[in-house]
Amino acid sequence: MRHTAFRQRMAEEFGRVRSEMLAQDHVFSALGGRTVDQALEDGYTTKEVWAAVCETFEVPAERR
């Protein structure tokens, strides 16, 4: 998944403002104690990051 598609999915799921805040501020244990932005910067794939977000926030399977 491309970064633009990832950001679009985040915005669709959480709203544009909240998704940006989550990406910057929420620390995910599944990402080794990183935020979304840090994980992507550190080389995690968008697929790995999206899976961590979905698991943490219990995104329904049909939207994963």
pLDDT tens digits, residue range 8-45?
A: 999 999 999 999 999 999 999 999 999 999 999 999 99
What type of residue sits at position 15? Answer: G
What is the pLDDT at residue 35? Answer: 98
Per DSSP, the chain holds a count of helices (H) and strands (E) of: 4, 0
Answer whether 43's CB lies under 8 Å from 34's CB: no
What is the pLDDT at residue 40? Answer: 97
Residue 4 has pLDDT above 90, yes or no: yes
Q: What is the pTM of this model?
A: 0.91
- Higher-pLDDT residue of 63 and 8 is 8
Residue 1 has pLDDT above 90, yes or no: no
Angle among Cα 48, 6, 43 to the nearest 5 degrees reads: 45
